[in-house]
Amino acid sequence: MITDTSAPNGAVHDDPIADAKAQEATHNFTFRNATMDDVPALQKMIEESLRALGKDHYTQAELDGSIGWLFGPDTLLLHDQTYFILHPVADPKTVCACGGWSFRRTLYGADTAPGRMPEKRDSRVERASVRAIFTHPGWARRGLGTMMMRYCEAKAREGGFDRLEMGATLSGVALYEKCGYVRSGKKDRVVCPNGEGIRIVHMVKDLAS
């Protein structure tokens, strides 16, 4: 998952939650449900995000092997109406950030990724997953990625879950730690079709009562 760690004014900040709240207070951006019509734009945006914001954490070969295979839209989330687009209020077609949550057991990955588990989770004993948060590089460092994360957390809570988990990319770990997520100790290495391995860090968070 890719997002940014900077304040809305462009200055690096140690409190991304405060930055997101400041952005929310501007009312310049809003959310909508992603639809199947958005899939081409989402695919393009996710690739642009990974290549620009993930290049310091993954090699070119790792990005080449994972984009469009491991990283991309999960259309089941679109059908479940649990995947969202953050856009300027006046321009719903502009994808500034995207992300979602899921009550299904698949933790991360596009439609083509391995290990998919579409079975539903039990909110009494299982965690919901926060899924595929990406910020467009042209809109990075404005608090929008964290704003999307907060929205997904709120929607998961509305769905009956107060405990969350995610499979974080290496580029997202530091930010998510600042947002209250902790490493569970589990790590994945997903081997891509070109033989490159993508490292994923399992993280968890309990929402405040």
| Backbone phi, psi, residue 37, to 5° | -65, -20
Helix 16-26 with 144-158: angle, nearest 10 deg: 90
Distance CA 158, CA 178 (A): 23
Q: Under a CB-based contact definition with an 8 Å cutoff, are residues 107 and 166 in contact? A: yes
Percentages of the chain per state (helix, strand, coil), in multiples of 5 = 30, 30, 40
pLDDT of residue 13: 52
Query: How many separate domains does the chain show?
Result: 1
pLDDT tens-place string over residues 49-83: 999 999 999 999 999 999 999 999 999 999 999 99
54 lies in some domain: yes
In this prediction, residue 179 carries a pLDDT of 95
Residue 167 in any domain: the answer is yes
- Asked, for residue 22, whether it belongs to a domain, the answer is yes
* 8 A C-beta contact, residue 181 and residue 166: yes
Q: Which residues contact 99 (CB under 8 A, 6 or more apart)?
A: 1, 83, 84, 86, 130, 131, 132, 133, 134, 145, 148, 149, 151, 152
**Residue 11 forms part of a structural domain:** no
Residue 27: left if φ>0, alpha if ψ -120 to 50, beta else—which one? Answer: left
State the pLDDT at residue 33: 98
In a domain, 1, yes or no: no
- What mean pLDDT is predicted for residues 171-176? 93
CATH number of the domain where residue 154 is located: 3.40.630.30
**Does residue 3 lie in a domain region?**
no
Residue 26: inside a domain: yes
Range of the domain at 181: 16-206
For the segment 104-122, the average pLDDT, to the nearest whole number, is 96
